[in-house]
Amino acid sequence: MSKPDYLLFDRSTTAIVFGMQTAAIQRMLDFDHLCRRQTPSVAAIVNPTGAPGFHRPFFGSREVMIPIYTTLAEAAAAHPEADVMVNFASFRSAFASTMEALALPSIRTVAVIAEGVPERQSRIMAAKARELGKVIIGPATVGGLAAGAFKIGNTGGPPDNIVEAKLHRPGSVGYVGKSGGLTNETFNIVARNADGVYEGIAIGGDAYPGSRLIDHLLRYEANPAIKMLVCLGELGGNEEYAIVDALKDGRITKPLVIWVTGTCAKVFPTGVQFGHAGAKAGGAAETADAKNAALRAAGAIVPDSFDTFGDKIHEVYEKLVAEGKITPIEAPTPPPMPMDYAAAVRQGLIRKPTNFISTISDDRGEELTYHKMPITEVIEREMGVGGVIGLLWFQRELPEYARRFIELALVITADHGPAVSAAHNAIVAARAGKDLISSLVSGLLTIGPRFGGAIDDAARTFKRAFDQGLTPAQFVDDMKARGVLIPGIGHRVKSVQNPDMRVTIVKEFAKRHFTATPLLDFALDVEKITTSKRNNLILNVDGCIGICLVDMLSSCEFTPAEINDVVQLGYFNGLFVLGRSIGVMGHYFDQVRLKQPLYRHPWDDILYQ
């Protein structure tokens, strides 16, 4: 059922919002909740620069799905019941989008929020709206509302102010003004001095708004639910003289309390503009004093100053109550306003078991922390990769030599040529056209007991033997009796006569910087026994790194229990994974750069004949 011409909004009104103004949309839906509307007042969103989809705001305590369109035509076609467009387009595109909305049969009212719309464009929009019998609110407006029914964007402020100003249910006052800020203030003044507004509109502060003060006052005059009128004008222009004429010729008969702001302008030099584009008197008739005098002479109730504006509203309201024209109503209690989860957490109002916990970092404060150390301190102190691993893995600040040893291990384990399984798999995946992540993962998934796992296994096995008090010979005999190869011992090409320089570097660093190297010494004694059997059964690089890491932790005063946890949880192999990732990604980039296709093995022709 269509609305009467004097009514812009009711409880069934829905709007199309032009622009992804999610905060304003949420405030519209919060207003709906306080008014106990059954359906959301936002039917659709138009986001010309985005993609189609859905926005999920809250309607009360439940989420709703509001469709997003890329064109206004699509949104209007899908939601013909939406007869309001709230236009958050910038001043550059407000004209085009508003003209498009006016041309759509289903759109009856357009609120143009943008400031700075050129005056010529504002005049064209206003003329087109009058020609089509439609209404423009704005430009440069906060919007407006029908109490207990519908509101535009941020009109009326947050939920607590909505309730304080009694906007969650209709009153008896029709209000119109120019300023958005003064409109919100007037809502509070009317609530304290009368029974609240029925409808309130801020037409905007531009010199040529899309609709005039008189337009809305005449609508209120025709609305039987509105019993008194309240208006705020301002210096500049001739808007208020149209109200004077309407009072004189009887088109406005309801009591009108009006004040034209800007009476202080007379103490300033001529030509001062007061905030709004239109708030500038171009002659004596455009001054606030002249307008207030003309309105008072025409029969309007004009206070002596803005300070007594509320007093005059109260006097008129009490008179209408005494005459039986207004029956005071019991204001309904609005439903409780659900609090957003994030806000409730900030205020400490709720507690909820976490889905998962983290003890290594925290980004809830002003600055990200790594184990309680602000990221700026991490950078300023040049903690490096080794220091960050200490904070995030071991949850403590490691001494400088330990940080350097971790970085040394990463450098040494970064690559071992293209033939090892991780590099080989990454190369094959890259040649098959796979992306970086897929190629990296295909290589890293091969890390295990036969490739890379020796770091953890060597640390675990040698530490167990050392803690049990076995001699190197007893350890070798025990492993032989069980038929298990000693992890960390043996190399395909390196030997006593052809030592691995990486092992030499690691051993020398540990001997030079650690307070003691008992496990390394034990491993070197084991090496003497194994190399006496075969000269390539040397302590290899993986084993040496794992064993030295145990000695490093002891030097850093980790407790035996803490060291056991680190070894059992696989920290050391994590260093191998991190280091080898560097090399694996290098092989990927190398193959992508060379642009080689997936190879064919020479025996493919034989296998697939």
Summarize pLDDT for 394-425 with one digit per residue, the tens: 999 999 999 999 999 999 999 988 888 999 99
What tokens does 435 get? 């992306």
In the chain, where the domains are located: 15-322, 347-385, 414-594
CA end-to-end distance (rounded Å), the chain: 78
Alpha helices in 166-254 (DSSP H): 180-193, 213-222, 239-248
> What CA–CA distances, in Å, run from 390 to 57, 257, 370, 402, 507?
42, 72, 10, 9, 21
What pLDDT shows up at residue 453?
Answer: 64
Structure tokens at 7: 């009514």
pLDDT at residue 331, as a whole number = 80
Torsion, Cα of 525, 528, 534, 540 (10° steps): 50
The active-site residue out of 216, 276, 371, 491 is: 276
SS percent in the chain: helix, strand, coil, step 5: 45, 10, 40
pLDDT at residue number 321: 97
Q: Comparing 130-144, 231-245, 258-272, 310-324, which segment has the lowest mean pLDDT?
A: 258-272
Which is higher by pLDDT, 329 or 314? 314
Alpha carbons 86 and 217: distance in angstroms, whole number: 22
Q: Report yes or no: 187 and 213 within 8 Å, Cβ to Cβ.
A: no
Over residues 123-144, the mean pLDDT reads: 97
Kindly tell me if the per-residue pLDDT of 52 is higher than 70.
yes
CB 443, CB 426: distance < 8 Å: yes
**Which of 72-86, 509-523, 536-550, 590-604 bottoms out in mean pLDDT, i.e. has the lowest?**
590-604
Q: Beta-carbon neighbour count of residue 496 at 10 Å?
A: 14
pTM of the model: 0.66
**Residue 271's pLDDT band (boundaries 50, 70, 90)?**
low
**What's domain 15-322's architecture?**
3-Layer(aba) Sandwich (3.40)
143 bridge partner residues? 202
The model's confidence at residue 511, banded by pLDDT at 50, 70 and 90, is very high
Active site residue 33: no
The tokens describing 584, both together, are 């694996």
In Å, how far are 424, 428, 429, 430 from 598, measured between CA atoms? Answer: 12, 7, 8, 8
Q: 281 falls in which pLDDT band (50, 70, 90)? A: very low
If you average pLDDT over residues 12-22, what whole number do you get? 98
